[in-house]
Amino acid sequence: MNYFSTRNTKLNLSFKKIFFKGLSEDGGLFLPNQIPKLSDKELKIFEKYNFQQMSFKIFKYFIGDTFNDNELKKIIDTAYSKFREPNIVDVKILDHISYVQLHHGPTLAFKDIAMQVLGGMYELLLKSENIKINLVTATSGDTGAAAIDAIKDKKNVNIFVLHPHNKISSVQRQLMTTCNAENVFNIAIKGSFDDCQKIVKDMFVDQDFANKINMSGVNSINWARIIAQIVYYFFIYYRFNNSKKPIVVSVPTGNFGDIYAGYVAKQMGLNIKELIVATNQNNILQRCINTGEYKPLDVAESISPSMDIQVASNFERILFYLCNENAEDLKKLMNDLKTKGYFKLSKKQLENLRDHFSASSCSEDETLKIIQNIHKKFDYLIDPHTATGVKPLLDQKYKREECFCFETAHPSKFPAAILKAINLKPELPKNLKLNVNQEEKFIILDNNLEAIKEYISNKI
Ligand X SMILES: *Cc1c(COP(=O)(O)O)cnc(C)c1O
Residues near ligand X (CB under 6 A): 109, 111, 142, 220, 252-258, 306-307, 385, 408-409
Minimum Å distance from CB 201 to ligand X?
15
User: Closer CB to ligand X, residue 109 or residue 157?
Assistant: 109
For Cα atoms 419, 422, 427, give the angle at the middle one, nearest 5 degrees. 55
Which listed residue (111, 167, 266, 453) is catalytic?
111
- Give CA–CA dist 116/386, Å, rounded: 22
79 or 109, CB closer to ligand X? 109
Using left for φ > 0, alpha for ψ between -120 and 50, and beta otherwise, residue 153 falls in left
Q: How far is the CB of 86 from ligand X (least distance, A)?
A: 22
**Residues whose CB falls within 8 Å of the CB of residue 242, separated by 6 or more in sequence, listed in order:** none
Report, in Å, the least distance between residue 109 CB and ligand X. 4
Q: How far apart are CA 420 and CA 440, in angstroms?
A: 26
Whole-number Å distance between alpha carbons of 103 and 55: 17
216 vs 220, beta carbon nearer ligand X = 220
- Taking the C-alpha atoms of residue 254 and residue 220, their distance in angstroms, rounded to an integer, is 10
SS3 assignment, position 344: strand
| Longest Cα–Cα distance in the chain | 58
> Alpha helices of 46-95 — where are they, by DSSP H?
51-62, 69-80
Q: Does residue 167 sit in helix, strand or coil?
A: coil
**Residue from 200, 231, 233 nearest 218 by CA:** 200
Helix (H) or strand (E) holding 250: strand 247-252
CB closer to ligand X out of 186 and 408: 408
Q: Is 256 or 320 the residue whose CB approaches ligand X more closely?
A: 256
Strands 293-294, 3-5: pairing kind: unpaired
Q: Which is nearer to ligand X, 239 or 385 (CB)?
A: 385
Q: Give least dist CB 338 to ligand X, A.
A: 21
In 71-225, the DSSP E strands lie at: 90-94, 97-101, 133-138, 157-164, 184-190, 215-216
- What's the Cα-to-Cα distance from 378 to each of 48, 387, 389, 403, rounded to whole Å? 31, 14, 17, 17
Q: Cβ 137 to ligand X, closest distance in Å?
A: 12
Question: What's the distance, CA 268 to chain centroid?
Answer: 19
Q: Report the nearest approach of ligand X to the CB of residue 27 (Å).
A: 19
Whether residue 111 lies in the annotated active site? yes
Closest separation in Å from C-beta 126 to ligand X: 26
Residues 432 and 422: their CA atoms lie apart, in Å, by 23
Rank residues 46 and 256 by Cβ distance to ligand X and give the closer one. 256
Q: CB–CB of 289/255 below 8 Å?
A: no
Active site residues: 111
